[in-house]
Structure 1
Amino acid sequence: MPRLFDDVPDPALAEVAAELLRLDPGGRRWGAVIRHTYDMIYNGPETGRFRWSELMKTEKTHFGTVFEINAQREFGFEGGDSTDFRITGHQVDAKWSQIEGGWMLPPEVFDELALVATASDPDAQFSLGLVRVKAKYRREGLNRDKKSSLNRLGNFAIRWLWKEHPMPASILLQLPDETVADIFDSKFGTQRVNRLFRATEGKLVHRNTVRTVAKQLDDQKRVRTNGGARSALKPEGYIILSSYYAHLAEELGVPAPDDMHYISVRVTPAAASGVMIDGQRWRRARASDPACVAPTLPARGTREA
């Protein structure tokens, strides 16, 4: 991505940017890091929380530290001397702010490279870039911890590697409030998960969302055929697909789940052009199609012609 501000060339910044893009050309790994950090802070399986506004002030403050730790684990960055990371031999400090431009920069990062990141969980987007924290880029005056933030020129000088880039979504933040209220309006985790998959038909559901709704760490138990949502929703025509059944999702015309997602699809018997499941052809049901018993998904290790 081209820079928005042409300053004196910074070979170190260019080398770090090139390495970050080499490690994650499409931004998928960084998006997963940020999604995982949100989910760790929300702690949904124990608390049922999934909104930033539900967090305590101390938890919000702790987000940046957890983000830094998760990034180091994902990419294996070396630790820096006075900064968080050393990337291609250069000192880099990781800075998170829930609001773009709100990064607080301590004295140890002055004149060093800062990896600045922010995100919008409701929009399922993140931004991540690099900037050299030069004196002319810092706001005048320091707080009591001797930290400062970027001024207008500094924000303009950020080299964005990903700007408002997609990250894994929390489907609960994208559903109408009344739908979410209905999902949680049961004291039984099984019923809440069933309502979740009914409400999100044809949309990817992150595994942590299932854990949050169920308030249980074992999402597979709540989804599986033996007593889970697959069994409960089968009489209504729903199949619930994991990454193993991504090929069925593609054939049914819905997003294909990866290892971190599920997707529910309401199906109905089809003509010869349908998808073969359980010895019969099926297609995605329309709103006008009556409910029918869904097919049994093939066992792992088998595929139907």
Structure 2
Amino acid sequence: MTLFEPPGPVSGVCDDPELMLVHQYLMKRDPDGARFARVLRDTIDQLLNGEATGRYDWATLFKTEKTHAGTLVEINLQREFEFGDGVDMDYRIEGVDVDCKYSQKFGSWMIPPEAEGHLCLLVWADDYQSRWSAGLLRIERRWLNGGTNRDMKFTVKAEHRNKITWLWKDAILPENVLLHLDPATRERILIPGKKKGQARVRELFRSIHGKRIGRGVVRTAAQQLDYMARVREGSKGRARPALRPEGIIILGDYQPHQAVARALGGPVPEEGEFVAHRVVRARPEHTGRPQAEIDGEFWVVAQPGDPVDTAPQLPEAQESRAKTYNV
């Protein structure tokens, strides 16, 4: 779905001093929205609870769980940004009371009557579109639809959504990879007959290459408490991980692995993420492809038709030997 809302007021244009104070505070602490996006991703994963339930789809949540989503978003944002408790609203930000409202459907924020005259932080995230938005609005009754529900809560009229001062609009939400897989691949990963989490996680990284895979996806595949043990690269002197003979490496979120990811020219795993690749030793016919130096040799991302080489031992956390080459 494309959002056709006209842009709201921007920084330096809005004539509400308190709103601009809160806007500047949030933008200073999260200039690219990465922290906000991570909270939303983690909150959706928390609701799905894939580790215990195997769920990956918002539609499978119970009605009570969906209702609870707004409260969890509110709590998790407060923890992340350490907002103070509000006097009348949820938060106290730079001395200003701010209410927090989340909706999985864009524009369906439920505004209570007591929020009138106050600032609201309006948050939307949609796992199907992998998009999210957050903006600030000073609530005025004339901008709201009449409260016809049991709790007498209101929604923002569509023609007045352009009054929202957006912090981030239609930004990218870290992808719920399992949700967006084709059914055959997803079934191969999560097939009930694979009772061991290790087998499911191996199939996950065997099937999905060159994409950032969040820890929520790994937890759902593993369905075990120590899900990280199903991913962890064996350190030197330990048994060889099962996927290395297939030429597959799993890059994590610490600097040496991020350096390898950059050198290979693919996506770089951020906090709590992994990226898998099948790699082969660099050969003369690979001229022009990005290369990473790993364990004393040069490697490239394998293409169809490339041979299978046993994958190299990845650098330890304190090592960083990856370099980018285009030869």
Specify the TM-score bucket, using the shorter chain as the normaliser.
Answer: over 0.9
Decide whether the 8 Å contact of 1:124 with 1:169 is kept in 2: yes
Decide whether the 8 Å contact of 1:194 with 1:229 is kept in 2: no
1:66 maps to a residue whose letter is L
Scaled by the length of structure 2, what TM-score is found? 0.87
Return the alpha-carbon distance in structure 2 between the equivalents of residues 276 and 146 of structure 1: 62
**Aligned position for 2:306:** 289
Deviation at 1:11, TM superposition (A): 1.6
**Aligned position for 2:8:** 4
Return the alpha-carbon distance in structure 2 between the equivalents of residues 116 and 225 of structure 1: 41
Partner secondary structure for residue 309 of structure 2: coil
**Aligned position for 2:122:** 116
Alignment of 1:1-305 (within 5 A): 4=8, 9-185=15-191, 186-226=194-234, 231-244=241-254, 245-271=257-283, 274-304=291-321
Aligned length: 304
1:4 maps to a residue whose letter is G
Deviation at 1:219, TM superposition (A): 2.8
Deviation at 1:3, TM superposition (A): 5.1
Partner secondary structure for residue 244 of structure 2: helix
Deviation at 1:303, TM superposition (A): 3.8
Return the alpha-carbon distance in structure 2 between the equivalents of residues 141 and 252 of structure 1: 54
Deviation at 1:73, TM superposition (A): 0.4
Return the alpha-carbon distance in structure 1 between the equivalents of residues 279 and 267 of structure 2: 15
Q: Percent identity?
A: 42
Backbone CA RMSD of aligned residues: 2.3
Deviation at 1:260, TM superposition (A): 0.9
Return the alpha-carbon distance in structure 1 between the equivalents of residues 199 and 14 of structure 2: 60
Partner secondary structure for residue 103 of structure 1: coil
1:39 maps to a residue whose letter is D
Partner secondary structure for residue 243 of structure 1: coil
Deviation at 1:226, TM superposition (A): 4.3
Runs of 4+ in 1 over 4 A off after TM superposition: 5-8, 226-230
Deviates more, 1:130-139 or 1:277-286: 277-286
Unaligned runs of 5+ in 1: none
Decide whether the 8 Å contact of 2:110 with 2:155 is kept in 1: yes
Decide whether the 8 Å contact of 1:249 with 1:255 is kept in 2: yes
Return the alpha-carbon distance in structure 1 between the equivalents of residues 33 and 14 of structure 2: 27
Deviation at 1:171, TM superposition (A): 1.2
Return the alpha-carbon distance in structure 1 between the equivalents of residues 154 and 8 of structure 2: 22
Partner secondary structure for residue 146 of structure 1: coil
Unaligned runs of 5+ in 2: 1-5, 323-327
Decide whether the 8 Å contact of 2:119 with 2:139 is kept in 1: yes
